[in-house]
Amino acid sequence: MKYMLIMRATDDTYAAFENVDFNQIVESMGRFNDELVRAGVLVAAEGLDDAAGTVVVDYSAEAPVVTDGPYGETKELFGGFWILNVASKEEAVEWAKRAPMAGPGSKCEIRRVTSIDELPQDNEWIKKERAWRAATGQL
């Protein structure tokens, strides 16, 4: 099963890390990522750029509305993610507990990533996606 570990942070989190050497952050994340690689569970991992450059597409109106910046009221922002291929939610939780994310407001949300195998296999679009995944080595 695949699980996404989503790094979440608040303004307090970012403030707490303002004076931390960036190389120290990269070093601790690198060590953690290396553990995931050596355990054979890491599928993907990425950090997200500063939220100040965010664009939001709101689908509430008939025509989508595009605005600058993160959401209107920002209490928590996604900072990055890992996708792990593990045996259970409990294993994903154990990995999340080891992530180097100490600090005020730091959280990690864990969500299962659904598999294409769970979708209706007789659907034309699922067939096309399955063929694309097979052709690109993603199955």
**pLDDT per position as a tens digit, 41-75:** 999 998 887 777 788 888 998 999 888 876 655 56
> 3-state DSSP call for residue 82?
strand
Name 58's bridge partners. Answer: 65
pTM summary value: 0.79
Name 80's bridge partners. Answer: 7, 47
In this structure, are residues 79 and 10 in contact, taking their beta carbons and an 8 Å threshold?
no
CA 79 to chain centre: 8
Strands 77-85 and 2-9: antiparallel
**All domains of the chain in start order, with CATH:** 2-135 (3.30.70.1060)
Alpha-carbon distance 47 to 57, whole Å?
A: 21
Name the token pair of 71.
Answer: 């959401």
Name 2's bridge partners. Answer: 85, 113
| Backbone torsion region of residue 16, taken as left when φ is above 0, otherwise alpha when ψ lies between -120 and 50, otherwise beta | alpha
> pLDDT (tens digit, 0 to 9) for every residue of the chain, 139 residues total?
999 999 888 878 878 888 888 888 889 888 999 999 999 999 999 888 777 778 888 899 899 988 887 665 556 677 889 999 999 999 999 999 999 887 787 888 899 998 888 888 999 999 999 999 899 988 8
In this structure, are residues 12 and 104 in contact, taking their beta carbons and an 8 Å threshold?
yes
